[in-house]
Amino acid sequence: MTDTAELLLSELMTNAYRHAKVPVGREIRARCVVTDDRVRVTVTDASDTLPAPGTAPLEAESGRGLTLVAALAADWGAQRRGCGVGKEVWFELSLGPADDRRHA
Protein backbone atom coordinates (compact mmCIF):
# COMPACT_ATOMS: atom_id res chain seq x y z
CA MET A 1 0.00 0.00 0.00
CA THR A 2 2.90 2.34 0.74
CA ASP A 3 4.22 2.03 -2.82
CA THR A 4 0.79 2.86 -4.23
CA ALA A 5 0.42 5.87 -1.91
CA GLU A 6 3.86 7.17 -2.94
CA LEU A 7 3.07 6.72 -6.65
CA LEU A 8 -0.27 8.51 -6.41
CA LEU A 9 1.17 11.31 -4.28
CA SER A 10 3.88 11.76 -6.90
CA GLU A 11 1.23 12.02 -9.62
CA LEU A 12 -0.78 14.65 -7.74
CA MET A 13 2.30 16.70 -6.80
CA THR A 14 3.58 16.57 -10.38
CA ASN A 15 0.19 17.70 -11.71
CA ALA A 16 0.11 20.60 -9.25
CA TYR A 17 3.65 21.62 -10.16
CA ARG A 18 3.11 21.38 -13.92
CA HIS A 19 -0.41 22.77 -14.25
CA ALA A 20 -1.13 25.11 -11.33
CA LYS A 21 -0.14 28.49 -12.73
CA VAL A 22 -0.09 30.59 -9.58
CA PRO A 23 1.65 33.72 -8.33
CA VAL A 24 5.16 33.50 -6.92
CA GLY A 25 5.06 32.70 -3.22
CA ARG A 26 2.06 30.37 -3.42
CA GLU A 27 2.90 26.88 -2.30
CA ILE A 28 1.85 23.36 -3.11
CA ARG A 29 1.14 21.33 0.02
CA ALA A 30 0.48 17.69 0.79
CA ARG A 31 -1.29 16.25 3.79
CA CYS A 32 -1.76 12.64 4.85
CA VAL A 33 -4.37 11.46 7.34
CA VAL A 34 -4.47 7.84 8.51
CA THR A 35 -7.53 6.32 10.19
CA ASP A 36 -8.22 2.75 11.24
CA ASP A 37 -9.27 1.68 7.76
CA ARG A 38 -8.05 4.33 5.28
CA VAL A 39 -5.27 6.67 4.36
CA ARG A 40 -6.26 9.97 2.72
CA VAL A 41 -3.68 12.09 0.91
CA THR A 42 -4.57 15.64 -0.13
CA VAL A 43 -2.56 17.99 -2.35
CA THR A 44 -3.52 21.67 -2.35
CA ASP A 45 -2.44 24.49 -4.63
CA ALA A 46 -3.59 28.03 -5.38
CA SER A 47 -5.02 27.32 -8.84
CA ASP A 48 -8.81 27.32 -9.20
CA THR A 49 -8.76 24.97 -12.20
CA LEU A 50 -10.13 21.57 -11.25
CA PRO A 51 -8.39 18.59 -12.87
CA ALA A 52 -10.13 15.86 -14.84
CA PRO A 53 -8.76 12.58 -16.22
CA GLY A 54 -7.94 12.81 -19.89
CA THR A 55 -7.31 10.41 -22.71
CA ALA A 56 -3.67 10.36 -23.76
CA PRO A 57 -2.58 9.01 -27.15
CA LEU A 58 -0.68 5.72 -26.92
CA GLU A 59 2.59 7.39 -27.93
CA ALA A 60 2.26 10.20 -25.34
CA GLU A 61 4.76 10.22 -22.48
CA SER A 62 2.37 11.96 -20.08
CA GLY A 63 -1.31 12.61 -19.53
CA ARG A 64 -2.29 9.48 -17.63
CA GLY A 65 -1.74 10.58 -14.01
CA LEU A 66 -5.36 11.05 -12.96
CA THR A 67 -6.40 7.92 -14.82
CA LEU A 68 -3.82 6.08 -12.74
CA VAL A 69 -5.12 7.70 -9.56
CA ALA A 70 -8.69 6.71 -10.46
CA ALA A 71 -7.64 3.12 -11.20
CA LEU A 72 -5.56 2.53 -8.06
CA ALA A 73 -7.31 4.58 -5.37
CA ALA A 74 -10.36 3.41 -3.43
CA ASP A 75 -11.74 6.92 -4.01
CA TRP A 76 -10.49 10.29 -5.22
CA GLY A 77 -11.78 13.74 -6.01
CA ALA A 78 -11.11 17.44 -6.41
CA GLN A 79 -12.84 20.52 -5.08
CA ARG A 80 -12.25 24.20 -4.59
CA ARG A 81 -10.89 25.06 -1.16
CA GLY A 82 -13.31 26.47 1.42
CA CYS A 83 -11.08 29.52 1.99
CA GLY A 84 -11.76 30.65 -1.58
CA VAL A 85 -8.17 30.28 -2.83
CA GLY A 86 -7.20 27.30 -4.93
CA LYS A 87 -8.22 23.69 -4.87
CA GLU A 88 -7.47 20.39 -3.24
CA VAL A 89 -7.11 17.05 -4.98
CA TRP A 90 -7.22 13.93 -2.85
CA PHE A 91 -7.21 10.17 -2.94
CA GLU A 92 -7.97 7.46 -0.41
CA LEU A 93 -6.54 3.97 -0.09
CA SER A 94 -8.16 1.27 1.98
CA LEU A 95 -6.10 -0.31 4.70
CA GLY A 96 -6.50 -4.01 5.36
CA PRO A 97 -7.32 -5.38 8.79
CA ALA A 98 -4.69 -4.63 11.45
CA ASP A 99 -3.48 -8.25 11.36
CA ASP A 100 -2.82 -8.01 7.60
CA ARG A 101 -0.90 -4.72 8.00
CA ARG A 102 1.30 -6.14 10.72
CA HIS A 103 2.52 -8.91 8.40
CA ALA A 104 2.87 -6.81 5.25
Q: Over the stretch 1-49, which tens digit does the pLDDT of each residue have?
A: 889 999 999 999 998 988 877 777 778 899 999 999 999 999 999 888 8
Q: For the stretch 69-103, what's the b/e string if a residue is b when 16 or more beta carbons lie within 10 angstroms of its beta carbon?
A: beeebeebebeeeeeeebbbbbbbbebeeeeeeee
| Structure confidence at residue 60 as a pLDDT band (50, 70, 90) | low
Beta carbons of 75 and 66 less than 8 angstroms apart: no
Q: Identify the structural domains of the chain with CATH numbers, from first to last.
A: 2-102 (3.30.565.10)
| Rounded mean pLDDT, 74-85 | 90
Most confidently predicted of 24-33, 54-63, 95-104:
24-33
Residue 26 CB contacts under 8 Å (≥ 6 apart), including other chains: 45, 46, 86
| Structure confidence at residue 54 as a pLDDT band (50, 70, 90) | confident
Q: How many residues does the chain have?
A: 104
pTM of the complete model beyond 0.85: no
